[in-house]
Amino acid sequence: MRHFHIATEDEIKSGQTSDIYYLRTKRIIESKGIDKKVVAEVTVGKLPENWRWGVFCGLEEVIALYEGFPVDLYAMPEGTIFPTKDINGFRIPQMSIEGYYGSFVSVETATVGLLCQASGVATAAARVKKAAKGKDVFAFGIRRMHPALAPMLDRAAYIGGFDGVSGVMGAKLIGITPSGTMPHPLILIFGDQASAWKAFDEVVEPSVPRIALVDTLYDEKFESILAAETLRDRLNGVRLDTPGSRRGDFLDIVREVRWELDVRGFKHVKIYVSGGLDESSVRRLAEGPVDGFGVGTSVSNAPTIDFSMDIVEVEGKPLSKRGKFSGKKQAWRCERCYTWQVTLFDSDPPKCPLCGAEVSPILKKYIDNGKVVGELKPPKLIREYVLEQLKHYELE
C-alpha cells in the first residue's frame, strides 16, 4: 500500500510518471519498427510574471534520470541565468538530447517537470536576493508545499542565492546547517516570552544564533526590548513575524524597534523580518534597518518556468513542428556584456555583435551514450555562479 502519494526514483526513471500518449508513441514506433535518431531541444517561449531572465535549475536530477540511457545530453551548466531569446530573436536552447526517440520518449514528461519547478523556484529566489540588496535571505517555505519536495525546494532556493534554508533534509542535501529561530508555539507553551527565550538559550547548542521571536503577545517594540534585557550580550537578533492584520507600515515598525534597541545600548542586536514576504516587500524593507529576511511561500510556490521539449532534427536532417526552429543548436554568451547568440551546433564561434569580444559556448556535454561525462558542481559553487551573474542582470 502506498501511504504517501509520491513516485519512487525507479518509477520516475521507468516512465511510470509519463503522460500516457508518450508511452503509446513508444509502443507504436517499436511495433512498426520506425524508431529514428532525433535531436530533442528544451527551450522556453515566455517567462512568467514578466520576468526578463530565468535561472536554469534541476540539471542534476535530469542527469540522474538519463544516466544509463543510450543518448547524448548537452545542457547549460546548472545555475546559468538565461533570457528566452538571443539578440536576433531566436529561442535559446537550455538543453538538447540526441538518440533514438524510443529510448527516451517515456521520460519526456519527467524531463521538463524536473526543470520547470526547480527553475521557477531558483529564479524567484534570485529575484528576492537581488531585491534584498546584499542582505541575508533565508528560505522558510517548505511548510506550504508537499513534504516530498522539501529538499528540492530548499536546494533550488539556495542555488538562486538564498543564504540558508530551514529544512533539515534540504540543508543536508546542500551541505549546510539548517537555519531557524523559534516558532510561536514555544512561547505559548511556556506562557511568557522571557521563559521561552531563556529555555532556548539554555537548551540549544551555542553554535545556533540566539534570535528571539518578538511578536507573539505584546507590541514588537516592547518584546524586542524585553528580549534584549533578558539575554543581553547573548542575544544575536530579534525576528518580527508580525501578522498582516497588525502590521500597518511594517517598515515603520522596524525603524521603531531599531531606534529603541539602539538607545538602550543594544546596537549589536540584528533585526530579521518574515511573514508573507515577496520580492516587492523585500525590496521596500531592504531600504530600512533590516538585517535579514525569512521568505516562504512566494518562493516555494513560485510560478513554474514552462520549458518545452521538441524534436528539431530527425536522422541528421533539420525538422521541427510549426513554431519551432529546426536543427541542432549551440548557445553562445559574451562574457563581457552578456549578449546571447544562437547558431547551428557546428558553426564557428561568432563575435559579440555589441562589443566585439569573444563568446563562449554555453551548452556542455553531460552525458555521452549513457555515461556521465560532465562535471556536476556542488550547490555552494552553483550559488556563487548565480550571484556572480546577477551582477549583470536587473529586476526590471
With beta carbons less than 8 A apart as the criterion, state whether 379 and 158 touch.
Answer: yes
With beta carbons less than 8 A apart as the criterion, state whether 209 and 180 touch.
Answer: no
Identify the pLDDT of residue 64. 98
- DSSP label at residue 244: H
pLDDT tens digit string along 118-145? 999 999 999 999 999 999 999 999 999 9
What type of residue is 220? E
- Tell me how far apart the alpha carbons of residues 278 and 296 are, in angstroms, rounded to a whole number: 8
pLDDT higher than threshold 90 for residue 396? no
What's the pTM value of the predicted model, to 2 decimals?
0.96
Q: What is the DSSP string of 59-113?
A: HHHHHHHHTTSS-EEEEPPTT-EE-SB-TTSPBPPSEEEEEEGGGTGGGHHHHHH
Question: How many other CB atoms are there within 10 angstroms of residue 270's CB atom?
Answer: 19
Identify the pLDDT of residue 243. 80
3-class DSSP state of 278: coil
| Average pLDDT across the chain, whole number | 97
pLDDT tens digit string along 296-342? 999 999 999 999 999 999 999 999 999 999 999 999 999 999 999 99
- Tell me how far apart the alpha carbons of residues 259 and 221 are, in angstroms, rounded to a whole number: 9
What type of residue is 258? R
pLDDT higher than threshold 80 for residue 96? yes
pLDDT tens digit string along 143-172? 999 999 999 999 999 999 999 999 999 999
pLDDT tens digit string along 332-387? 999 999 999 999 999 999 999 999 999 999 999 999 999 999 999 999 999 999 99
Identify the pLDDT of residue 246. 77
pLDDT tens digit string along 268-287? 999 999 999 999 999 999 99
Q: What is the DSSP string of 308-362?
A: EEEEEEETTEE---TTS--S-EEEEEETTT--EEEEETTSPPPBPTTT--BEEE-
What type of residue is 91? R
Which domains are delineated in the chain? 9-119+303-390 (3.20.140.10), 180-300 (3.20.20.70)
Q: Which of 253, 178, 268, 267 is nearest to 223 (CA)?
A: 253
- Tell me how far apart the alpha carbons of residues 300 and 12 are, in angstroms, rounded to a whole number: 22
Q: Which of 49, 149, 135, 2 is nearest to 11 (CA)?
A: 2
CA atoms within 13 A on the CB side of 348: 2
pLDDT tens digit string along 180-216? 999 999 999 999 999 999 999 999 999 999 999 999 9
Identify the pLDDT of residue 247. 78
Identify the pLDDT of residue 119. 98
Identify the pLDDT of residue 393. 95
**How far apart, in Å, are the Cα atoms of 22 and each of 26, 28, 42, 101?**
6, 10, 16, 10
pLDDT tens digit string along 349-362? 999 999 999 999 99
What's the rounded mean pLDDT across residues 61-77?
A: 98
Identify the pLDDT of residue 244. 79
What's the rounded mean pLDDT across residues 69-77?
A: 98
pLDDT higher than threshold 80 for residue 245? no
Q: What is the DSSP string of 178-233?
A: ------HHHHHHHSSHHHHHHHHHHHS-TTS--EEE--SSS-HHHHHHHHHHHHGG
3-class DSSP state of 140: coil
Identify the pLDDT of residue 275. 94
Q: Which of 161, 178, 166 is nearest to 57 (CA)?
A: 161
- Tell me how far apart the alpha carbons of residues 389 and 333 are, in angstroms, rounded to a whole number: 12
With beta carbons less than 8 A apart as the criterion, state whether 159 and 377 touch.
Answer: no
CA atoms within 13 A on the CB side of 218: 14
